[in-house]
Structure formats: C-alpha cells, structure tokens
Amino acid sequence: MTFYFTGIRSFPKLWKSNSYLGLSSSHFYLSLFLKDCYGIRSQEKWFSVKTMSAQNTKAMNLLIAKARCVRKLDEGSNKQVSADSSHMFAAGAAKKRSQMNPSSKAPVLPPVKNIIQLPTKPLNSEEWDKLKEEFKEKANFENWIILQMVKSRSSLDVAKSVLAWVATKNNGIVGYDLLVKYLYLCVFHKQTSEIIDVYEIMKARYKRLESGAYTLLIRGLMYTDRWREALLLLEDLKKVMIPSKKNYDDCIQGALFHQDVNVAWNLYQELLSHDIVPMLETLKAFFGFGKDMKDDQYLNKLHNILLYLRNNQLYPGESFAHSIKTWFESIPGEQWKGQFITIQQSGQCLGCGKTVESIHLSSEEYEFLKEKIMRDVIDGGDQYKKTTPQNKVKIGSLKTVCSFYGIPFS
C-alpha cells in the first residue's frame, strides 16, 4: 500500500505544534490521502488519524491490531492481483475472468435467418404455399421473395408466377411494391410487352407514382413505340420534383433513338437550365448521332458541348473520347485525324506540338476576376443590411473565394 500525502509541506512542524486548527495538544487530526496501487486496481480513501491520550492506549492498541490485519489482507490481495495481471493475456485467461465475473445478462442469440433457395422455374399456387410454410416470417414472404429475385436478377417467368399466386389470393389485386419490383425485372431483362402491361395496370390504378416507378417506366418505354408517353411521365414527374439527370438521359437517348433531334436538344437545354450537370453518356449520344452528318447547325451544337466540357473541367472517359474522335474524322469534306497520345509534364502535346491549356489563372484572368468581384459583389454599400440570411451565407462563401485568390474583401 502506497501513501500519498497531500496538502502538507512540513511534517516535523506539524507533529511538534502544540495546537492545530484550534484543537488542544492532546487532540488534533491529520488527514492523509491514501491510494492502493495494485497495477490494474486503484482505490482511493481518506483517513483521519487522531492522537490519543494516555487513558485511551487500550483503544489505540485495538486500532493498531486492526490495521495490521488489514495490511496482511492487502498484501495477499496485492500478490494475487500482480500474478493475475502478469498472465492477463495467457491462454485461458479470458475464460477464467468470465467465470469469476459472470454476466448478469443472458447471451443474445443471433437472429435466425430465412434460408430458402430461390426457385429456378415457375411454381404453381400449391408449391408457393408450401414454400411459404417453410418461411419464418410468413406475413412478409411475398415481399421478401420478390426482393431476393430482384437482387439475383431472377428469371421473369419465376417472378411472374409469384404475382399470379398473389393475385389468386387477393381477388386479382397485386400490391404496389410487388408491381414496382416486378417492373424492375422487366426493365432489366428488356421485356417490352411486360413493361407495357405493368404500365397499363399502374396507370389505371394509381393517379400518382413515386419517383422510382416513374424512373423505371420512363426507361422502359423510351425504346418502344409508345416512347412519347414516357415524355408525358417526365412532365408528371416535374409537377412534384426536378427530374434527375438519369431521367433526362433516358429521354434524350430515347428521342435520338427515334430520330427526333429537336426533342433531344430541347431536353438537353432544359437539363442545363436546372443547373444539372449532364451525364457523359448523354453527351456521348449526341456525338454518336452526329456521325457522318453534314449539318452546320448540329455541328455548332456539338462545338458548344465541347466548350461546356472545357469550361466546366469535365473530362471524358476513353469510350466518350473515342466517340468524339470518330465524329471529327467522319465530318464530310473535312480531313480530321485523331490519335491518342500521352501529354508531357510540360503540357505539350506530342501529336500537334501545341501546349495544353492550363487550369491556372493568368495575370489577365486574375485581374478580370478581381474587377468582376469588386464591381458586382463588393460595391453597393453594406451587403448585410440589404440581404437575407441565405444571401449572407453566400457572401461568406465569396469571402472565402476572395481570400483564396488574394482579393481584398471588406
């Protein structure tokens, strides 16, 4: 046992003093802070020691005897703990500790998983009923089994037998969630007739769909004879939200597939008006469609796409780059020749010898940016009195931009 004495500077002075804290010489107290150090066990105690007069020597002897007994117990415990701590990581130590300190809580068993092998061929109603009996959570069997089919991209015939089984039990009605999951499989397997059947059912039963169903129907209908109905679905989706870049991509590629260039370009401009960065696959489709085409108006639009890539620092992948190269080389009456080369560290092109444009600001561009921000942003008095809290956040962002480029902002 180790003793830590706190708050005492001079022990001889303390012991020789005749009075301490207003007490007589025969009665004064000494407070000691004691700490047991056993390696992995730490206990802290406060003790008060009181001097005893001659008539209390009997009581004092009794206290000394008790103290000796406690000391022996502590020493034995110290040896045991030290021996245990040295073998804390020995083989079987964890088991011994668990037996010495049994947990009051019952062990938590892992949840029982439903292990059912998905059928590889369509099943009839009796077979589906039998399979459901083997399922632990029978109330969720239909949703669970169709979800597993979606994850494993099961055959459409097997999934269709699930819907037929559910319909026989529910007076010919199949729930919305099951229809959407089945629609996903139809789109994945590109089964046009099934996509149209599901579309007719959902159109007759539901006035509005959620975004996932709209996305699947648009993608599934765009390559059918009813592709213009997909554009109507896009309009319905616009009433509740801004369509995603994937929705626009499906519609643009479908319009180009059906040779309606004007619809494709209008959708592209609409996409940009929402400040949505188009998918590179969308831009690639325009270049693929323009191959061998002699149309100045279409040519200018493709040049604008190239400028859009440059100005927004969008870098085409290898497939898109091949499409651009093929388009340039296919322009009638022009002798373009493209090749894939490696740009040197200096930025010089080994093919044409020109230097690739740098993304760093030149001195002229820096001055232009500085004057633009000073004139359009900073000038005009106290911005915080004229703006909303939302605009104040924008001003804070502009301060960050200015500090990055070394432009003073006050």
User: How does DSSP assign 161-176, residue by residue?
Assistant: HHHHHHHHHTTT---H
Q: What's the pLDDT tens digit per position in 79-119?
A: 454 444 445 555 566 666 666 665 545 555 444 455 678 88
pLDDT of residue 335: 87
Q: What's the pLDDT tens digit per position in 20-32?
A: 344 444 433 333 3
Token code pair at residue 112: 């029982």
Residue 202 has pLDDT above 70, yes or no: yes
pLDDT tier, 405 (very low <50, low <70, confident <90, very high otherwise): low
- Is residue 182 within 8 Å of residue 159, measured between CB atoms? yes
Q: What's the pLDDT tens digit per position in 346-371?
A: 888 888 888 888 878 888 888 998 88
pTM of the predicted model as reported, rounded to 2 decimal places: 0.62
- Structure-model confidence comparison of residues 312 and 50, the more confident one: 312
Number of neighbours of residue 252 by Cβ within 10 angstroms: 27
pLDDT of residue 345: 84
Distance of alpha carbon 273 from alpha carbon 405, whole angstroms: 29
Query: DSSP 3-state assignment of 279?
Result: coil
Distance of alpha carbon 214 from alpha carbon 222, whole angstroms: 12
Nearest to residue 395, comparing CAs of 407, 408, 384?
384
- Structure-model confidence comparison of residues 148 and 69, the more confident one: 148
Distance of alpha carbon 318 from alpha carbon 308, whole angstroms: 18
- Supply the angle between the helices 176-188 and 211-221 in degrees, to the nearest 10: 30
Taking the alpha carbons of 223, 224, 226, 230 in that order, is the dihedral positive or negative? negative
Token code pair at residue 284: 């690639």
- DSSP one-letter code for 79: H
- Is residue 4 within 8 Å of residue 34, measured between CB atoms? yes
- Is residue 271 within 8 Å of residue 245, measured between CB atoms? yes
**What's the farthest any 2 CA atoms get from each other in the chain?**
126
Q: Which amino acid is at 166?
A: V
- Structure-model confidence comparison of residues 5 and 134, the more confident one: 134
Taking the alpha carbons of 352, 353, 358, 364 in that order, is the dihedral positive or negative? negative
pLDDT of residue 357: 81
